[in-house]
Amino acid sequence: MTELEIGTSVIEMLRQVLRVKVKMIQPEARIFSDLGAESLDVLDIRFRLEKLFGISITDDEIIASLGENLTNEEIDNAFTVQSIIDFTSRKMSAVMV
């Protein structure tokens, strides 16, 4: 699966979860501040990524992948649509290896 295909699937998944217009789901869009996600939605996103891509994601792994010892504000800024695509691509690569 190419990164473009992963990106397309992630964007559609985010549209379904967060009920926002596709045009809002830009790579730099912040999941919490710009797209209105809450903590339960991050859990939902995780479960859907696991099912969509056949990967296994541990608790807090997505947020932890953003960096160590980040403040809430830094997490908010780093947790973007692109960060989810990148995270998924890395997990997919690991699965293929």
Residues that bind another protein (CB under 8 A): 16-19, 38, 40-41, 43-44, 47, 50-51, 58-59
Nearer to another protein, 40 or 96 (CB): 40
Structure tokens at 96: 């293929």
Nearer to another protein, 58 or 93 (CB): 58
Output the smallest distance, CB 96 to another protein, in A: 22
Output the smallest distance, CB 2 to another protein, in A: 26
